[in-house]
Structure 1
Amino acid sequence: MAANPSIRLNQLAFVNRTGGARAELPFSDSFSFVFGASNTGKSFAVKSLDFMLGGNRELPDIIERRPYERAILELSLSSGERLSLERALAGGDFSVSINGAESVVFSARHNRNDEANLSNYLLNRLKMADKEVAKDKSGTKKALSFRDIVRLCIVDETAIQSETSPAESGEIQFAALERNIFKYMLTGVDDAAMITQLKPKDFSTGRNAQVGLLEGMLAEVESEISDSFPDIDDLPDEYVAVQDELTELEKEMAFVRDSSREKLENKARLVVSINRDQQRVNDISMALENFEQLKRVYDSDIARLESIEEAGFLLGLNMDDACPVCGSPPEAHVHKHALSEIEAARAAAEIEIAKVKAHGIELSATLKDTSAELERSGQRLLLNQQSLTTLEEDLAAGSPKSADSLRRISEIIPRRDRINRGLALARRQVELTRQIADLKKKKQTRRHSNFQAGLSTQIANDFAVQVGLVLQEWGFPGECRTFFDTEGTFDLIIDGKRRRDNGKGVRAITHAAFKVALLIYCRSRGLPHPGLLVMDSPLITYRDPIQSKGGDLADDEEAIKSSDLRERMLSHLGSLGDLGQIVIFDNIDAPANVADFAQIEVFTNNPAEGRQGLL
């Protein structure tokens, strides 16, 4: 295994001509795990690695890349060579330095007859040069390029979630080619020895079969139109009318919603204000009752003190006269108080009277102010209660309108769906008629090949077993009984369920298992594989269903998210260093022990904390 030709990524860097800006992302020889927040450059890094290995897709024009002009990828070959690949971010050829020597120009386009291109140079070092693969069922061949291999080793976020087979890109015109490339990796045998040939009978049979199939489909469409859509010619006009009606109803519903929302907010404010004013009125009323009682006390005190003062005054005037009450002479009076004492008592009463009267004046002012506040609060309370009553009447009046709009919409939607079905059938009828006519006019241009692209049953089963072992190692739910559908989807069937029929998170995990199994299968058997695997977001099933753009989790994703698959998967990848180099980019947080078996790079998306992002 150690002698297998391989490639190792050492570092990805971005620079400008002046050297004033440089961003670097190093990789471990075995397992690197790059994780962090969204929009920090992880997917851009994956696209950049593909770009630096010969990809011709333009890199995304993100703002963060603008200070940089060129990318540099440093890699090592098992032959001992160290390469530094430099390329403009706008694309074009490579400037390549081998073992530190002066740079030479390598073309980005494959040419099997010239080693001065990156593809042929790497294929030679990997012992894959001069291979040919059939690109269609007739056996037309093309030279194998390094890009054909890279597609199975670098997986972006879109591809890893796709329903398409991990061995294919989803482009129908490349399906045969991609299946044959996959076959070459699993067998080590290319298609160079295959004879290209064409059989007129096969062409005719195939064409007639296609015509028969399309005619059968056309008959079904026309039968449904006849039975269910006798008014099919009127459907376009009906569709316009229905759409107009729906648009108007939606506007009405939006107006009712907006109006009701504002009224409900006003109602809430009124209720709060009414409760507050009612409480204030109650408090003021109680205070006024207390003030009135205090006023009565003041009046009583004043009356009592005035009687004392008057009595003292009279006593002081008549001290030497007969008692004004009983008529007794002065010498018969038994009191011993001197006139001065009586006068002092009278004066004290007079002072106390003045104090009580002063308090009474203050109390009167307080009573006046409090009564005024009570009147204001009462008026405000009354106005708010009247406004609340009016608002509740408006809300009650709006409810029937909303219910009527909903009823009308529920009646219109089935009509619209029926119209859509009829229009779709009409379009299908036209398209099938055109396809049938085109097929009947189609002329034979070349003999049909007897070559059948695809894998043998034995090889397909052996590979499927390897995928099953990987899934078991990761703790994937179920028995992990895995089969390879060579005739249909060219994809896995896991525990009786087609891989493509799972949620996007499960598709991502099983796609990752497919690619990891391919690395293990090929490297352990000395078959063609560069010993390199880069994947973006294989663990998307661990996403946040609210914040993530991936949306809600499917049931099968929930089952995985609640398991320890993430930990077991990363641990397993960390154990494959002898077979190849694996680089994972993902949004999930790393398990606590991942540093034990992986080189970690964290993108925080926070300039004040660690590394913000790739650039």
Structure 2
Amino acid sequence: MAITLKHLAVYGPGLSPAVVSFDGHRTLIRGPSDTGKSHIWDCIWFLLGGTGALEQFPESEGYDSLELAFLHDRHEYLVRKAMAGGAARVLVRLDEIWVADGAPNSLEDVAQDLGELLVELIGAEGKKVLRTRSEKGAITGDDIRHWALLSQPGMISRDATKGKGHGSDKRVSSYSLFLSGLDDSAVELYKSSSIKDQAKGKLAAAESEMARLEGVIPVDTNRASTVAALAWVDERLDMFATQLQARSSVLKELRQKIAAEGDALTTASAQLASATSMRERFALLDLKYSSDLARLGATDEGIAFFQALAETPCPLCGTPVEQHVDPGNLKPRAPTKYRDAIAAEAEKIRELRRGLQPSLAHEKARIVTATADVQRLTASLEVLEEQETLVLRAAGQEFDGDPRELAESHTRFSSLIDAFDEVDRLKGEIARLEQETKQKRTALVRNVGSHGDEVGAIARQMLNDWGFTSIKSVYVDPAACDLVIDGRRRLSYGAGKRGLFLSAMTIALMQHALKEGHPHLGVVVLDSPLKAYAQKESADNTDRDIPTATVNASFYGWLSRFKGPGQIIVLENEAVDPATARALNAIEFTDDTRHGRQGFYPPRTVIAPPPAPASDGTEFDDFA
């Protein structure tokens, strides 16, 4: 699951690339100060996800891009990034790196964040670590780098290995993951400050509501007496409902009869009105017939009188009457014809009048019958309505309480019981919220089992091989993420031993993790692990009991024999025996331009002055 660094290269237009290749197990890059060794460490950190800008110096002028190649299984990955910063471009050769003709397979872009890719490659995908005691998150590339790359300042620092401030909690979690293989998925989180603030707000609201309810409940009232009073009211209301139902049944029957009698009275009244109307119409028609007969009689009498008159000339002009009227009307038969017509018309009217009398008599009979029905039904309705009135009056006398008062009492007692219940509920809620606002803090003790002892055993053997043969016990303090050597904390030793002991722990952690199949980068990069121990003038090296030459020779000899698991890259100032250097195939930097490799960057005839310091004060991110 680990990766293996292959080479680091820096490129610039028109300039020779600066390249350093890494052995699959151990690489020593040795040389004096200011030859670019620490810069190599910076570049590896930068290309593995570090975000701070690289420090510029005269030898790096003109170079603008970096490349880090590493292997994972049978795949080769290239990480390319501008020296000025920005996003990294990641490429991969899929399938086998080499084909039959010896040419490498083509590169393909990886559409994935570099940090996420590293987490996936080392087998830590999906692992959860504590960022704080109230927040979990995924392990990140920063956690991986922190426990794999040791800078020169970090070697001798008196700060805890987990670092300071923000991020220290998750580094302890990631250390435990590399050590034991177990993440923090099962760890229960503390409530965050925002959740506690919300609980405090809910607590205040609950207390305010309970105070309001206690003000509503009378002082001399309890729930039991209120329940009893409500039961009495319910009993009275049930009696009221029973009586009301009985009364309603009687009233229903009476009102059905009243409705039936009312419908019959309406029908009878309609019939009476209809018969009365028809009688009046028939009587009016009879009067018309009588008037017509009188008119025809008068006309007949006039014609008879005309017949009896003698013919006389006009008294005014003396002319005969024939000259003034139609002569035909003066004939004797003409008046007779008029009278015969009148007589016939009168007979027809008399016949119609005789036919009208039966109809008039029928309507009179209907009026009599309808009048009797109306009178009978009206009397019946009056009786039924009196019965309804008696029933309603009797029902009012049956109840010994006011239904309205009973209903109001029921509402009041029910509200009081609800208030008692709500107070009980609020008491429980307040107790719960008080616990939420006062959550007890407990120490987090991760069960690393025997893994700490195994890492300690590896580190002790390593330190014995480096010349510290007097060390008898080494074990890991998982809470401090550090070693305890012969009963002393690592940070209690001088700077030289602090650096070497931290190197031993970092390498031992890598070897143990890879052996057990735990997540780990699989690479350890050490910047100057021997330098601090060799500084005799340092006031912090008072406990240097093993000669520097012995430690240097032992360390380099051990490194030349190292075959894994894992990969170690050491950047160091201290001289190495030529035979050991050949066994290590060490990369030697020299500040002598006449021979050897003059540092990381190829030499140039003219070196430009260093660039001006950055105005924004940007510094490299935390290397420790």
Instruction: State whether structure 2 residue 191 is matched by structure 1 residue 198.
Output: yes
Aligned to 1:491: 482
Q: State whether residues 542 and 561 of structure 1, in contact with CA within 8 Å, keep that contact through their aligned partners in structure 2.
A: no
Secondary structure at 1:528's aligned position in 2?
Answer: coil
Taking a change above 3 Å as real, the CA distance of residues 453 and 53 of structure 1, as seen in their structure-2 partners, is farther
CA distance change for structure 1 residues 133 and 593 in 2, over 3 Å: closer, same or farther? same
1:95-118 alpha-carbon deviations (Å, 9 max, x no partner)? 233126666666xxxxxxxx6111
Q: Post-superposition shift, 1:137?
A: 2.5
Alignment-derived partner of residue 132 in structure 1: 128
TM-score (norm 2): 0.52
Determine helix, strand or coil for the equivalent of 1:184: helix
Matched, 1:584 2:570: yes
Distance 1:160 1:562, change over 3 A: closer
Among 488, 507, 515, the residue aligned to 2:498: 507
The alpha-carbon deviation at position 71 of structure 1 amounts to: 0.6
AA aligned to 2:191 is L
Match of 1:452 in 2: 444
1:158 Cα deviation (Å)?
A: 0.7
> Where in structure 2 are the equivalents of 1:240-251 lying within 5 Å?
none
Structure 1 counterpart of 2:531, which letter? I
* 8 A Cα contact 1:156 1:535, kept in partner: yes
Change (3 A) 1:199 1:90: closer
Q: Which residue of 2 aligns with 1:147?
A: 142
SS in 2 for 1:470: helix
Equivalence for 1:525: 516
Correspondence 1:86 to 2:73:
no
CA distance in 2, matches of 1:191, 1:94: 30
Please, which of 52, 56, 71 is the counterpart of residue 51 of structure 2? 56
Give the whole-Å Cα distance in 1 for the aligned partners of 2:449 and 2:107: 47
Q: What is the aligned residue count?
A: 352
Q: Say if 2:6 and 2:68, in contact at 8 Å, map to a contact too.
A: yes
The residue aligned with 2:287 is none
Aligned equivalents of 1:508, 1:45: Cα separation in 2: 19
Residue 554 (structure 1) aligns with:
541
In the alignment, structure 1 segments of 5+ residues that lack a partner are: 107-114, 205-442
What is the distance in 2 between the residues matched to 1:553 and 1:132? 39
RMSD: 2.8
8 Å CA contact 1:198–1:448 kept in 2: the answer is: no
Instruction: Please give the per-residue CA displacement for 1:108-159, whole angstroms capped at 9, x wherever unaligned.
Output: xxxxxxx611122232222221211112233x10111233112111111011
In structure 1, the residue corresponding to 2:459 is in which secondary structure?
helix
Q: What code does the residue aligned with 2:142 have?
A: R
What CA deviation, in whole Å up to 9, does each residue of 1:539-577 have, x standing for no partner?
Answer: 01453546xxxx4572323x2334622222222233332
Report the alpha carbon displacement of residue 12 of structure 1 after superposing the two structures with TM. Answer: 0.7
SS of residue matched to 1:574 = helix
Which residue in 2 is equivalent to 1:572? 558
Q: Distance in 2 between matches of 1:500 and 1:460?
A: 18
Distance 1:60 1:446 in 2: 48
Aligned with 2:578: secondary structure? coil
Instruction: Using the TM superposition, give the Cα deviation of residue 61 of structure 1 relative to its aligned residue in structure 2, in angstroms.
Output: 1.9
> Residues 453 and 91 (structure 1 numbering): CA distance in 2 closer, same or farther, change over 3 Å?
farther
- Conserved? CA contact 1:95–1:104, under 8 Å: no
Residue in 1 that maps onto 2:464: 472
Query: After alignment, is 186-195 or 85-94 more displaced?
Result: 186-195
Match of 2:584 in 1: 598
Task: Please report the TM-score for the alignment, with normalisation by the length of structure 1.
Answer: 0.53
Helix, strand or coil at the partner of 1:555: coil
**Distance in 2 of aligned mates of 1:556 and 1:481:** 18
Taking the aligned partners of 1:503 and 1:449, their CA distance within structure 2 comes to: 35
Letter in 1 for 2:589: F
| CA distance in 2 between partners of 1:19 and 1:98 (Å) | 26
Letter of the 2:8 partner, please give it. L
Contact kept in structure 1, 2:133 and 2:189, CA below 8 Å: no
How much does 1:449 deviate? 6.5
- Tell me if the contact between 1:512 and 1:538 (Cα under 8 Å) persists in the aligned partners: yes
What letter is aligned with 2:89?
A: S
Tell me which residue corresponds to 2:2.
Answer: 6
Q: By how many angstroms is 1:63 displaced? A: 2.1
> How do residues 375-454 of structure 1 correspond to structure 2 at under 5 angstroms?
452=444, 454=446
Distance in 1 between residues matched to 2:68 and 2:507, nearest whole Å: 23
Tell which structure's C-alpha radius of gyration is larger: 2
The one-letter code matched in structure 2 to 1:97 is L
Q: What is aligned with 1:543?
A: 534
Alpha-carbon distance between aligned partners in 1 of 2:113 and 2:596, rounded to the nearest angstrom: 39
What is the match of residue 181 of structure 1?
174
1:156 and 1:447 map into 2 onto residues whose CA distance is: 40
CA contact (8 A) 1:199 1:449 kept: no
Instruction: List aligned pairs for 1:77-476, cutoff 5 A.
Output: 77=72, 79-99=73-93, 116-138=112-134, 140-166=135-161, 168-169=162-163, 171-198=164-191, 452=444, 454=446, 456=448, 458-476=450-468
Q: What percent of counterpart residues are identical?
A: 24
